Amino acid sequence: MHDAENDKHMIIAPEVSAPRLTRKVVGVDQNGANVDMSVIEERPLTIFLNSREIVTAMTIGDYPEYLALGFLRNQRMLDPNEEILGVDYDEELETVVVRTAVETDYEEKLSKKTRTSGCAVGTVFGDIMDGLDAVVLPKVAVQTSWLYTLSKKINTTPSLYLEAGAVHATVLCSQDRPLVYMEDVGRHNAVDKVAGWMLSEKQTAADKILYTTGRLTSEMVIKTALMGIPVLVSRSGFTAWGVELANQVGLTLVGRMKGKRFVCLSGNDRLQWDHTNDEDAQ
């Protein structure tokens, strides 16, 4: 059952009824009967850093400013303390321009651009791992009861996924409370939106948990670690490189999270098994 109270306490909840995010189409089912259903809209968004075009991402189109800020932050093109003069979104041109006080030449970085595995074809820059050696994640405690509660709340929250499918979600959480729930056609975009919100709102990362519905890949681990978040949780599975990198940076990596079941393949020293049986967990 859906917990309406949970939506009220979220800072950003899924915009299930937003008209620009889905479209009604007519098809037929396995019996040949007509069916009406919602499908996800997908549109390009070109991100500029000052006068330089950086990338064009395919996205559902919500929170473009957060997506641009988060993408640039996660690619280490924006320092957390960077002086940002403005973030300008042009809906007609489908562009976002992020303007900073000091212009920087990213020609070499752009030349190393590669594509990542996964849905909606993510984009990553070849030297993104350079910053991992300097990452020190805080040794905060994580109660297992928080994970059970988060799983239930997130999976029962009305979402674009439940309405139309074809999207992934990334949710920023504090203890057992979901704070910011972002969805997009690719998990890369969803986590970038969260990063953009954190940068814009100057939010701390040390006490946060990041929940994703997508696979725990190397890119997800790198982005989470560079954001300074010590715990990454998913209802999906792992890749070997994702696990290796999580162990390297000391990230708590929890996957196959469903109700009271999960597997932790890195950073289990943060876990506190305070609650192992909950009849309401789903």
Same domain, 165 and 204: yes
Let me know if residue 23 belongs to a domain. Answer: no
Gap between the Cα atoms of 113 and 115, Å rounded = 7
Give yes or no for residue 65 having a pLDDT over 90: yes
Q: How far is CA 88 from CA 96, 98, 155, in A?
A: 5, 7, 33
CA–CA gap between residue 53 and residue 251 (Å, rounded): 33
- Closest C-alpha to 169, from 180, 217, 177, 49: 180
Residue 104's pLDDT is 66
CA distance 227 to 70: 10
CATH code (residue 115): 3.10.20.10
pLDDT at residue 1 in the model: 46
The answer to whether residue 79 scores a pLDDT higher than 90 is no
* Residue 269 burial (10 A CB sphere; 0-12, 13-18, 19+): exposed
Nearest alpha carbon to residue 62 among 162, 164, 194: 194
In a domain, 235, yes or no: yes
Is 80 exceeded by the pLDDT of residue 159?
yes
Residues 162, 91, single domain; the answer is no
Write down the mean pLDDT value for the chain: 88
Higher pLDDT, 9 or 89: 89
Angstrom distance (rounded) from CA 276 to CA 274: 7
| Claim to verify: residue 84 and residue 107 sit in the same structural domain | yes
pLDDT band at 17 (very low <50, low <70, confident <90, very high): confident
In a 3-state reduction of DSSP, which class is residue 250? coil
Task: Please check whether residues 154 and 99 belong to one and the same domain.
Answer: no
Identify whether residues 71 and 171 lie together within a single domain: no
Total number of domains in the chain: 2
Q: What proportion of the chain, given as a percentage, has pLDDT over 70?
A: 85
Token pair, residue 208, equals 């946060």
Q: Identify whether residues 66 and 174 lie together within a single domain.
A: no
Give me the mean pLDDT over the 22-35 stretch. Answer: 96
